[in-house]
Chains A and B, each alone.
Chain A
Amino acid sequence: MTLAGLPLSILALLLGAALVPLLARSGRGVAAWSSAAVLGIAALAVAPLAPAALAGTVTVLRWPWLPEWGLDLAFRLDGLGLLFAILILGIGQLVILYAAYYMPPEDGLGRFFGILLAFAGGMLGVVLSENLLLMVIFWEITSLASFLLIAYRHDASEARIAARMALAVTGGGGLALLAGVLLLGRIAGSLELSAVLAAGEAVRAHPLYPVALALVLLGAFTKSAQFPFHFWLPNAMAAPTPVSAYLHSATMVKAGVFLLARLYPVLSGTELWFALVSGTGAVTLAYGAYVALLKHDLKGLLAYSTISHLGLITLLIGLESPLSTVAAVFHIINHAIFKASLFMAAGIIDHECGTRDMRRINGMFRYMPQTAVLGMVAAAAMAGVPLLNGFLSKEMFFAETLQEPPVAGYAYALPAFATFAGVLSVAYSLRFIHDVFFHGEPVGLPRTPHEPPLWMRVPVGILSLLCLVVGLLPQSSVGALLRTASAAALGGPPPPYELAPWHGFNLPLAMSAVALAGGALWYRFRGVLFDLHERFAPLVGGPAAFERVYNAAAAAARLLMAAMDTGRLRRYVALLLLAALGLGLHAVAGAGLAPPHGAVIPADPVAIGALVALAVGAFGCAGLHRRRPLAVVFASVVGLIVSLTFLRFSAPDLALTQLSVEVVTIVLLLLALRFLPEEARATDAPRRRRLGDAAIAGAGGLGAAALAYALLTRPFETVSGFFVEQSVPGGGGTNVVNVILVDFRGFDTLGEIWVLALAALGAHALLEGLRLRPHALRAASEADRHPVMLAMLMRPLLPLALTVAFHILLRGHNLPGGGFIAGLITGIVLILQYLAVGLDITSARLRVDHLRLFALGLALAAGTGMASMAFGAPFLTSAHGYVPIPLVGRTHLASALAFDLGVYLVVVATVLLVLSELGRLSQRELRPAACGGQG
């Protein structure tokens, strides 16, 4: 069960991240102690497995999670993971101790430590993952945590932008890494590290190897701030200093080089690897070291020095000799130790001086001698001064450059370059020591500096002491760890090497001496460089530049969107029609049109006349659409011809429906049109565009006509015979159309009456509070508002018409009629009544609650359907038979009648609601006082 310690340690950190903010409400001390405890628990969980890992055993724990997608909860502890776990958990403890004193007292620390623990969890996950996808998950958790920590002081705009910049670079790199890992998994056939490591040969021979390598390297280089992706790291110094010490020097930025080391056995050994990795590393090493000296900001210097050292590690990994990889691992350890210490020292100085500008911070040795000594030890380690840890790994680097390089022609160039890089790093280390701790008196500091609290110095002291211990006793302090970690990185035992503070007088020592002397000289003449830098340094990579780029991208996106999306309905409709046309053509082109081969009914003169009228109606409606009432009249012609067509083909139900729908809608439309000006505003669209629109519309019409013709001229196989056959025995009605509506496809009808109801309710909702001024308010029209003749006529007509409607409703199942038609007839009667006597009288006679009427109709229709469910039959199963009715006798009734009654009520309710809304709007016109303002 000790194996479970691996996920448990990560889980402890992530749970701690959620818990500490809650605990922090009890005080800062609680926050700090609980965070430290969480880190301790994580360490205890890993500890039992450490001896085995140190001995070179690889421990793997695999819990299946999403095995079909290659994502399993698989963890692994080997030498490399152990080394990083020690760095993460060890330096984490020191950072928490340090931060508890560093952070301003008004900060409750809950959020800070919470995110810090989340980061630690993510980072530990990266180094302990066996599954590569799992590693990517943890990888991006560290990017997110880094984002939140950089933006921690979010009142400063630089911090906010720097955070987004870091997210853009490292998060984006993470996505590249995801793609790279997935590609690796495809090539290797597995996403488990063990399998991928074993498939190195196949991976390197695969045609996609260069792509996978480039993507993985993109992830590694962005995370480890390699040139040209380095610029986020100096800006990330906006984070509180404990964050810089922890994430941005010791751990997170090492994730990139960790990845290089982890995948070294798979990806290395090709010229591409050598060129990309060592080339990038070399450029980063020199560039970072050069710029570091020029930074006046204390943390800026350290940031660029970090970039330079990461470049060094990358270069060492890229050199591809086993010993250079050992040197890289060794330098990972050493750099983490001295750089964390330096950042903490820088934080103390910042804390005490209120500034980080090295032009103002001078002579600190007098004010804080202990901190100064500790800082100088660490800085000397960074410079590679003998007897300190930095010297050892740098000496290994120098020795490696003297080996036969994999690519010929570098024999002299590489050692010379290495020495030059050494010179630069000595120079900036000297600046850190000399400028800050000596070099006269401080200039205009906001407060007088003094030694910080003891517990702030302790972490620095521990780390600086470690520099010394590792420098003096390398073998007994880190020898075993280095060997096993290097073995893990190499995928096999490392070559023999000797870890000792002293190797005698040899060439690497001479190179070190040159670097020290040269560095002193370089620092001596730094003034020249500062001048050059001030004059020529381009202002790229800063927050302002990032913001400019981002805003330019957003502006470009807006422009592109505006070009694509005009926000105009015309364009949308045109696109829809064009798409329909294109799809239709594409579909037909894929099949080819066979010539017509069916019987065609010859056209008679009546039919031709009707079709001409139809065309006139359609053209008139389109051509005169701006004169609204006229356009409506033309549209009604179309409806009329359609109903005649139904009659011609013996469909009286449809003809009746179409006719009454036509009457109701046209009258209601005309009533509604009173609120619009008679003529619509002329369009300002240019002629060309209108012609284009006409072409699209015409093509659509012609296309539909062509397809309809094609359809009608070939034989037709249909299921509709079933309906005719089953109408009487199954549906209990002789009117097939009605039986289809209320029985065979009653479900459709139920949906459609809902559509009707919803449309009426929607209009009711939309018109709420709306105030309209009718346009057709002329004295003449006002005079015959309610024609007397009509009013006289309506009195006898009303009961008569309602009786007819009722009759049509009842007979519908067997003869033309039904609920829909009956409802429409009732609607017409109500409209006439409204026109005859006005709304007030009409609604006074019809005291109905429209919404309840809807509810009643819908409940009848749906309830009829549900009643059958009570008898175990499916929804909407109808029943019919002879029912004894008093006075009438035995009558043939179908349950569908109740359904039809529901349809009837919904149609009537719709007409009533629309009428009452129209009347409500019209009432306002008569009472100017109610009009108020025009809304």
Chain B
Amino acid sequence: MTHLPVLPVLVPMVAAILLLAVHSAGAAVLRGVGLAAVALLAAVAVLLLAATAQGAVAVVAIGAWPPPFGIVLVADRLSATMVAVTAAVAVPALLAATDGTDLQGRHFHPFFQMQLAGLNGAFLTGDLFNLFVFFEVLLIASYALLAHGAGAARVRAGLHYVVLNLAASLVFLVGLALLYGALGTLNLADVAGRLAALPLEEAAPARAGLALIAGVFAFKAALLPLGFWLPHAYPAAAAPVAALFAVLTKVGIYALLRLSSVALADDAPAAAGLVAPWLMPAAIGTVVAATLGVLAAPSLGAIAAHLLLLSTGMLAAGVAEGSAPMLAAVLYYLPHTTLVSAGLFLLAGHIAATRGEEARDRIRRGPRLPRPGLVGGAYLALAVAVTGLPPLSGFLGKVMLLAAAPATPAGYAMWASFLLSGFVAALALARAASVLFWERSEPRAAVGRAAPPRLGLALAVAVGFVPLLVLGAAPLSAHARATAEQVAARRPYLEAVLPRDLPPAARERRP
């Protein structure tokens, strides 16, 4: 099991190679390989969760080069959780895609697998440059997936997406160069050590590098004012792709959390006040802007995209606050919101498929839904969960976030914005439901087409997570708490990557 932390990257990568090799085989073969790989990934994720559950931090030195010289993959509870969330979203997303979306353009399956490989790599790597590489893998794969199936809106949103992300990559690279130039290392744990030893008056380049990198993470998380592209891009994507993208913004949140918890510890003067002061206002601003967006959204998909943004803002606020209880709340809320958002995108796709090209998921009258009972039940469950109404997981997560918020102005801003945003979201979803399910242009309006069956199945899988999140709330919350404590403790990560008994890294000093 020493190789376990590599497998979440290798499994989808090998699957992608296999898919390219057999690209001329029929759709059934490609789907079979894809689904098998995703199932295998899910199994690997479970193993990884089990391996890290007792607090162990598994480190793999790629190429057997000791850190900080080589690249390390680090699996702790947090990484394992993120990999598990990715796998959990991938299963219904790919299942939904096998209903024809995958045939609307070329290479869907390799792109999907490499998206997973990029995500998992970003969650596991302990090296900042390697993180950059996985960001690139992610970016190109997600761009191809976003544009998959063409359409003017998709191409336009895709262009904005890729240009902006390349600009962000440039900023990332500048930040990395500054950091390497200042500290001479890119291993995150080593960066932490070097930073702690850096006197403040020498710290300007390193600080600038870290700030730029953190800014890129905030961009990836689509925080205000860098996130306006997201609500254009996601609703334009095919529903299974949008569902998978629910994980994508979490990379930014994860990276912010990892960076600030490992490298930007309070005891390093060079790291003081680097991220938290602007992250909280940006996060609250994101919540407010996303709330307005939910109210203004013209379609269910757009509502889902803004709700995704809203939840990212909430998570970022939690990361900015940073206390162990708050991180525990964040780490319960994160899987919940990712899974529910993915379900919401699948639901929007399902409704769009049944209502036909003219009405799609736009919030206006259209054909009647063929099976209003089942789809309505899914809608009710997802809407209640996503808006944080009782009794589902959104409420539990929100209670945790509110309970962990401190009695400070920032804490009260969290209370006010979280509660009011949930209120507005509930009203917007109630109105959308009223129009989509109940409003008829004429008494005997035409009934929509039946949705593709596997899309329905995928939706059922996604909705099935909701009761699991509630019934399993106690163990999930305990896991989140243990994860938060491990993250907040910081030592386990540092000591696992750079053990104390290792001789200090040989460094060359150049004038």
Which of A's residues lie within 8 Å of B, judged by CB? Answer: 65-66, 68-71, 111, 133, 136-141, 144, 147, 151, 154-155, 157, 160-161, 163-164, 167-168, 171-172, 174-176, 178-179, 182, 185-186, 550, 553-554, 557-558, 560-561, 564-565, 567, 569, 571-573, 575-577, 579-580, 583-584, 586-588, 590-594, 598-599, 704, 707-708, 710-712, 714-723, 725-726, 730, 743-748, 751-752, 754-755, 758-759, 761-762, 764-766, 768-769, 849, 851-852, 854-856, 858-859, 862, 866, 869, 872-878
Contacts and interface: CB of A to CB of B under 8 A. Distances in A.
B3 A869 contact: yes
Contacts, number: 357
A167 B488 CA distance: 40
B117 to A, nearest CB: 8
Interface in B102-137: 105-107, 110-111, 114, 117, 121, 129-130, 133-134, 136-137
Contact of A144 (B136, B226, B272, B384): B384
A147 B430 contact: yes
B438 A717 contact: no
B205 interface: yes
A69 B326 CA distance: 11
A569 B159 contact: yes
A71 B396 contact: yes
B105 A765 contact: yes
Contact of A573 (B65, B167, B439): B167
A744 B60 contact: no
Nearest to B207: A587
A167 B427 contact: yes
Nearest to A756: B140
Nearest to B224: A564
A714 B202 contact: yes
Contacts of B111: 758, 761-762, 765
Interface stretch (B34-42, B83-91, B313-321, B502-510): B502-510
Given A69-B400, A561-B293, A758-B141, 13 more contacts: A70-B403, A144-B384, A550-B431, A557-B295, A576-B219, A591-B204, A594-B202, A719-B507, A754-B13, A765-B106, A765-B144, A855-B18, A878-B63
B353 interface: no
B508 A875 contact: no
A205 B368 CA distance: 57
B23 A851 contact: yes
A508 B51 CA distance: 76
Nearest to A154: B438
Nearest to A754: B137
Interface in B185-206: 185, 190, 200-205
A588 B171 CA distance: 16
Interface string B210-244: 11101100110000011011011000000000000
Kindly list the 3 A-B residue pairs having the minimum CB-CB distance in the complex, ordered from nearest.
A718-B184, A721-B508, A587-B211
A141 B389 CA distance: 9
A24 to B, nearest CB: 12
Contacts of A70: 403
Contacts of B270: 591
B14 interface: yes
Contact of A765 (B147, B278, B400, B443): B147
20 contacts: A141-B391, A147-B430, A167-B427, A554-B295, A580-B215, A592-B200, A594-B201, A594-B202, A716-B510, A719-B68, A719-B184, A719-B185, A719-B506, A721-B507, A743-B65, A748-B133, A852-B20, A858-B20, A874-B63, A874-B64
B390 interface: yes
B71 interface: yes
A854 B17 CA distance: 8
Of residues B200, B438, B439, which shows the largest number of chain A Cβ atoms within 10 Å of its Cβ? B438
Given A178-B399, A591-B201, A758-B140, A164 B430 contact: yes
Interface string B478-511: 0001000000000000000000000001111111
A241 B174 CA distance: 68
A855 B207 contact: no
B10 A862 contact: yes
B160 A569 contact: yes
Contacts of B24: 849
Given A747-B130, A765-B106, A594 B204 contact: yes
B292 interface: yes
A704 B174 CA distance: 8
B208 interface: yes
Contact of A754 (B105, B114, B168, B422): B114
Given A580-B215, A583-B212, A768 B204 contact: no
B106 A710 contact: no
B510 A766 contact: no
Contacts of B446: none
Given A138-B390, A557-B295, A66 B69 contact: no
B28 interface: no
A744 B205 CA distance: 26
Contacts of B107: 761-762, 764-765, 851
Contacts of A591: 200-201, 203-204, 207, 270
A561 B396 CA distance: 30
B182 to A, nearest CB: 6
Interface string B61-84: 111110011110000000000000
Given A587-B204, A762-B147, A744 B292 contact: no
B289 interface: yes
Interface in B142-190: 143-144, 147-148, 150, 159-160, 163-164, 167-168, 171, 174, 177-178, 180-185, 190
A761 B403 contact: no
Nearest to B203: A591
A590 B207 contact: yes
Contacts of A875: 3, 6, 10, 60, 62-63
B402 interface: yes
Nearest to A859: B17
A569 B511 contact: no
Given A569-B160, A573-B167, A758-B137, A140 B208 contact: no
B403 A722 contact: no
Nearest to B201: A594
A223 to B, nearest CB: 14
Of A176, A707, A726, most B-chain CB atoms within 10 Å: A707
A575 B439 CA distance: 41
A375 B270 CA distance: 80
Nearest to B147: A766
Contact of A716 (B164, B474, B509): B509
A696 to B, nearest CB: 12
B296 interface: yes
B71 A745 contact: yes
A576 B166 CA distance: 11
B206 to A, nearest CB: 8
A862 B296 contact: no
Contact of B473 (A65, A176, A707): A65
Nearest to A68: B481
B184 A711 contact: no
Contact of B61 (A66, A718, A874): A874
Contacts of A716: 181, 184, 509-511
A160 B436 CA distance: 12
Nearest to A168: B427
Nearest to B292: A557
Contact of A564 (B117, B289, B443): B289
Nearest to A156: B438
A104 to B, nearest CB: 16
Given A704-B174, A747-B130, A583 B278 contact: yes
Contacts of B423: 168, 171-172, 175
B471 to A, nearest CB: 11
A758 B137 CA distance: 8
Contacts of A754: 13, 114, 117, 137
B437 interface: yes
Given A583-B211, A710-B204, A711-B182, A167 B430 contact: yes
A521 B168 CA distance: 78
